[in-house]
Amino acid sequence: MKIKKEELIEKLRELSSNGYNYLVKITAVDYIDHLEVIYFIRNMQNKKEENVRLDLKNGESLPTVIEIYKSADYYERELSEMFGIAIEGREVKRLLLEKWDGLEAPLRKSFQWGSDYKSG
Amino acid sequence: MLTRINVGPIHPSTHGVLRLVVTLDGDTIVDVEPHVGFLHRGVEKLAENRMYMQSESYMEKIDYAAPMAYSDLYVAAVEEAMGIHPKERAKYVRLILLEFQRIASHLLWLGTFCNDLGQMFTMFMWTMKDRDLVLNLLQDVTGSRMFYVNMRLGGVSIDLPPNFEEHANKLLDYLEKRFKDYEAFLEKNPVFIERTKGVGVLKREDAIALGVTGPVLRASGVNFDVRRDYAYYAYEKLHFIPQVQTRGDSFARYKVRMQEMKESIKLIRDALKLMPEGDALGMPIKLISPPVKESEVIVRRELPRGEGMIFMVTDKQRPYRLAIRAPAFINLSALRYIAKGARYADLFSILGSLDLVMADVDR
């Protein structure tokens, strides 16, 4: 289902109280003019799945869902460093790319191979 | 007073390059902060820049303990995108090879886990020897011991050799006997029991909230297995019971994997009996793949370490975006919650029982 960014927390709360209690993954797709963020959520009782999708403009931030799904911790950290999406409402430490500061987020389409990455 | 201890990045019990910063109050763990990323190779980005079938061998390197499971996951995603269905015999061949891969992976885990617990080398020697026999069998089929790259669109690269059934049955009989030995050795062993029972308890609700997967999830009493709940290949036709334990401690996680290996033996035996004659060969690898029909695919597979998922947005000849859900990644994120309140000496019992492969965490 496609929702607006403002509805995200409310929608996920509603789903999690309806038994959709397992977060499978959060990921994003870079469509150059905008980003699509996708939450894969599963109901562990009847094994049904729901995809919650929302569009983000470039440079827009995303509210954290860690209050609803504890497992969002690593996924949000990954999202913020791989796509350069700022996460509101929590401290986001670097996870996989600890020394990547100031460089282009690698999973954005604008990231070019062999560009100015310097280790250390 | 709190003490901080650095563990790793190179440490015998981290099975790869993992750095843990452990905060201790006396001997009790207050917090564990994992630092990962040492093995990050950007597989998802690499796949975006290669033709569909060029990425298969990259996928195997994600999890070097169970490479075939990952190449199967990726090829299944490509098949789904192109609307190709595997041949009837190929469904059985894949199941048999994947279950042997699961046994090999669990055996590697069991040996190293016992090393972590101070059961130095007896179990490690036993399991490595038996794992070698499984690898020999896989070598008979694919020609390779570690990275197989034998999945093809619609089937496999090489069909099972003519004497495979005989060899496989002989090996399964042997393994069944050996698993009894393992159980007798471990479950009557006071050191093993002391260091696993009641250690690192993860309750059912927490397991779901933390999103852990695979044997770790099932050890906490959640009856979920992708092979049954989103059945694929010949799992649809074969009778199979997901192994569930309720205690949620390190011992339960060991027990789930042990039982799973026995279940794999049953599955392979049934599959060998029911496997139809015919052709299991897939399309040869060509740079230009068949046209893509779906714009987006989601594929799930039960890997030895847990549920693996690929979400792929397709383009004409290469993936536009390939997102991999790695089971070890999410299991590692649960470490700090499980380890909180445990003693420092038990940290490696907990870490070991999660069965992490760092290449899988970092991708």
Domains and CATH numbers, chain A: 2-88 (3.30.460.80)
Which residue reads 């905060």 in tokens? B23
Given an 8 Å threshold on Cβ–Cβ distance, is B229 in contact with A47? Answer: yes
State the CB neighbour count (10 A cutoff) for residue B278. Answer: 11
Question: Chains A, B: CB contacts under 8 A, how many?
Answer: 65
Give the B window 42-81 contacts with A, CB below 8 Å.
Answer: 42, 44-45, 49
> Do B322 and B310 touch, CB atoms closer than 8 A?
yes
Of the partner residues A69, A95, A106, the one whose CB lies closest to the CB of residue B36: A95
Rounded (to 5) percent helix, strand, coil in chain A: 20, 30, 50
Q: Contacts of residue B218 in chain A, CB cutoff 8 Å? A: none
Considering only CA atoms, which of B52, B225, B83 is closest in space to residue B151?
A: B52
Q: Which residues pair with B34 in a beta bridge?
A: B20
> Do B362 and B248 touch, CB atoms closer than 8 A?
no
> What is the signed CA dihedral for B19, B191, B183, B146, rounded to 10 degrees?
30
Q: Contacts of residue A107 in chain B, CB cutoff 8 Å? A: 44-45, 321
pTM recorded for the entire structure: 0.90
Domains and CATH numbers, chain B: 2-362 (1.10.645.10)
> Do B304 and B66 touch, CB atoms closer than 8 A?
yes
Given an 8 Å threshold on Cβ–Cβ distance, is A71 in contact with B210? Answer: yes
pLDDT tens-place values along chain B, 363 residues long: 888 988 878 776 667 788 889 999 988 999 898 888 888 888 888 888 888 888 888 888 888 888 999 999 999 999 999 988 999 999 999 999 999 999 999 999 998 898 888 777 888 899 999 999 999 999 989 888 888 888 888 889 888 888 898 999 999 999 999 999 999 988 888 888 888 888 889 999 899 989 899 899 999 999 999 988 888 888 888 888 888 998 889 999 999 999 999 999 999 999 999 988 888 888 887 777 788 888 899 999 999 999 999 999 998 888 899 999 999 999 998 888 898 888 888 888 888 888 888 888 888
The ipTM (two decimal places) reads: 0.85
Helix/strand/coil for B86: coil
